Structure 1
Amino acid sequence: MHTILFILAALLYIGSALLPSGQRAAISAATALGWLLHGGALWADMVQPGALRIGFAMVLSATLWISVAAYWLENRNLSLDGLRVLVLPCAALAVILPAAFPGALVPLEGKSSLFPWHVAIAILAYSTLTIAAFHAVLMALQESRLHAPAEAGRRDWLALAIDRLPALLTMEKLLFRLIGFGFGLLTLTVVSGIGFSEQLFGTPFKLDHKNAFTMLSWLLFGALLAGRLWRGWRGKTALRFTLTGFATLLLAYVGSRFVLEVVLHRSLA
């Protein structure tokens, strides 16, 4: 395990989260350096000769690694300082989890050459919908400040970060853009998992906890996009669907793997 690199990345993420918002150049540089250290250590640990290391901590760490990249890129175009104070502390925690919960090595022998691609697409889907969930939380906080005079008078660091967010309509457009992209990736994950289960995993498809929660999450995000298109869903309805779909997706792999690895002490892939 590349523990030192993970710890350095976590410290850089925390430092970036605590820097004053006016120091944009320092925040951007520290976040980028932490992201590079995080990615290098993650790659070295996950990708082994003839095998992949997979576990709930590895997947969660990879998900937050891509989420940090999404935040960093978005923040260059829009002022999303509120996203920084949510994403980076979560990434700092996720980056050190593999040191305590290394997961298991999954041999690639006997599996389809598409298996690593299936894993990569699934992680991209989780990451995109994770950053969408962070957006939904920010929008809920932003809306509460607009409708609560007492809250609007607060001037703490989080309130200041929320006040600097783009308008709610802009945030909402960005939210649905993320959900649409994440839903497309999740669709590829579900279709490949169902249609090519035996080639990918060496076993026929079965409706276990992971697959059931993944399909339920897919249905929730699909219903949200359909409701947005045909019924004009927005506001609190959109936020509820987003957070419920994300929570369901989190249970699909990370939650089930956490129970297997930490609670039941099983190392099956």
Structure 2
Amino acid sequence: MTTLLLNSLAAALYLLAGAYLAWTVRVGQEPRRQYLFAAVAVALLVHGLGVFSQVMVDNTVELGFFRVSSLLFWVINLIVLASSLRKPLHNLFIPLLPLSAVGVLASLLGQGAGHPIVLDYALASHVLLSILAYSLLTIATLQALLLAWQNHQLKHRHPTGRVRLLPPLQTMEALLFELLWAGHIALTLSILSGFVFLDDLFAQHLVHKTVFSLAAWVIYSVLLWGRHQLGWRGYTAIRWTLGGFVLLMLAYFGSKLVLELILDRY
């Protein structure tokens, strides 16, 4: 019952904060950051307590499909909130807050999925690095989508209205590549820790995750090389970012979806 109340309250708080942010965008005003950040911080506190009660099960860790989705949203929102204190990333809360509410509610509906596992220090480090990498690269993808919308508005000569609430295009691109670099480093460490700490990354139940993760790593590596050597920017950078994200999500959520929600039923 406590888990249900905490997660339901977290979803409600996310929706309220999202409604306030949507209203400011609708009327073309900058949100009062202290109010927005305070609301998100309270939602994160409640969400954190709720997701902890879901993930920790009798001294084991339950990383099922729906619960890990909720955990990822918690980490993503925490990173965006902390980063927004120094950088203009608070606009990412526009899609994040309603998606977070959906993720939290889905974790309640799908509580039966997944199998509790015991984490040692080695496996825990790999899991934490993976969650950090997925979170940072998800934020980079949201930033890329926002950048794509900004590019579209400016190219079609709509420099006023809602687009004026965003930072300059150069700042948006710089933020995108900062996030990509951070996510790529975390992804590299996650893959390396998997090879070091896991017995066989190409075992039958891990091969999909390994192949897609390596493919995503190659995509992000080429993108960062292209940025450094060829000055890639704009839609080229956006397309490569989205391509890497699709592969990364197939690596984790695709394999978990098949293993836990499809194969387990047969």
Which residue of 2 is the match for residue 51 of structure 1? 60
Which residue of 1 is the match for residue 121 of structure 2? 113
Q: 1:130 aligns with which of 120, 138, 163?
A: 138
Tell me, which stretches of 5 or more residues in structure 1 are unaligned?
A: none
Aligned residue for 1:233, secondary structure, equals coil
Cα pair 1:3 1:96 within 8 Å, conserved: no
Deviation for aligned residue 1:107: 3.0
Q: Return the alpha-carbon distance in structure 2 between the equivalents of residues 191 and 12 of structure 1.
A: 38
Q: Select between 80-89 and 220-229 the one with higher mean Cα deviation.
A: 80-89
Q: Return the alpha-carbon distance in structure 1 between the equivalents of residues 220 and 74 of structure 2.
A: 22
Cα separation, partners in 2 of 1:116 and 1:244, compared to 1, 3 Å: same
User: Is 1:230 aligned to 2:229, yes or no?
Assistant: yes
TM alignment of 1:11-30, pairs within 5 A: 11-19=12-20, 20=24, 21-30=30-39
Q: Select between 47-56 and 172-181 the one with higher mean Cα deviation.
A: 47-56
Letter paired with 1:265: D
Letter paired with 2:97: L
* Backbone CA RMSD of aligned residues: 2.1
Cα pair 1:56 1:255 within 8 Å, conserved: no
Deviation for aligned residue 1:69: 1.5
Q: Return the alpha-carbon distance in structure 2 between the equivalents of residues 255 and 55 of structure 1.
A: 12
Q: Return the alpha-carbon distance in structure 2 between the equivalents of residues 186 and 80 of structure 1.
A: 21
Q: 1:89 aligns with which of 90, 98, 101?
A: 98
TM-score (norm 2): 0.88
Q: Return the alpha-carbon distance in structure 2 between the equivalents of residues 114 and 48 of structure 1.
A: 20
Which residue of 1 is the match for residue 114 of structure 2? 104
Letter paired with 1:257: K
Aligned residue for 2:17, secondary structure, equals helix
Aligned residue for 2:62, secondary structure, equals strand
Q: Return the alpha-carbon distance in structure 2 between the equivalents of residues 118 and 49 of structure 1.
A: 21
Letter paired with 2:72: T
Deviation for aligned residue 1:263: 3.0
Q: 1:140 aligns with which of 148, 154, 157?
A: 148
Write out the 4+ residue segments of structure 1 that deviate beyond 6 Å after TM superposition: none
Q: Return the alpha-carbon distance in structure 1 between the equivalents of residues 144 and 50 of structure 2.
A: 30
Cα pair 1:56 1:258 within 8 Å, conserved: yes
TM alignment of 1:178-217, pairs within 5 A: 178-198=179-199, 203=200, 205-206=202-203, 208-217=207-216
Which residue of 2 is the match for residue 263 of structure 1? 262
Cα separation, partners in 2 of 1:4 and 1:233, compared to 1, 3 Å: same
Aligned residue for 1:104, secondary structure, equals coil
Aligned residues between the structures: 254
Cα pair 1:197 1:205 within 8 Å, conserved: no
Which residue of 2 is the match for residue 177 of structure 1? 178
Aligned residue for 1:38, secondary structure, equals helix
Tell me, which stretches of 5 or more residues in structure 2 are unaligned?
A: 25-29
Q: Return the alpha-carbon distance in structure 2 between the equivalents of residues 79 and 23 of structure 1.
A: 13
Aligned residue for 2:115, secondary structure, equals strand
Aligned residue for 1:32, secondary structure, equals helix
Deviation for aligned residue 1:230: 1.5
Cα separation, partners in 2 of 1:22 and 1:232, compared to 1, 3 Å: closer
Which residue of 1 is the match for residue 7 of structure 2? 6
Q: Return the alpha-carbon distance in structure 1 between the equivalents of residues 57 and 174 of structure 2.
A: 40
Taking every aligned residue pair, what percent have the same amino acid on both sides? 35
TM-score (norm 1): 0.87
Aligned residue for 1:166, secondary structure, equals coil
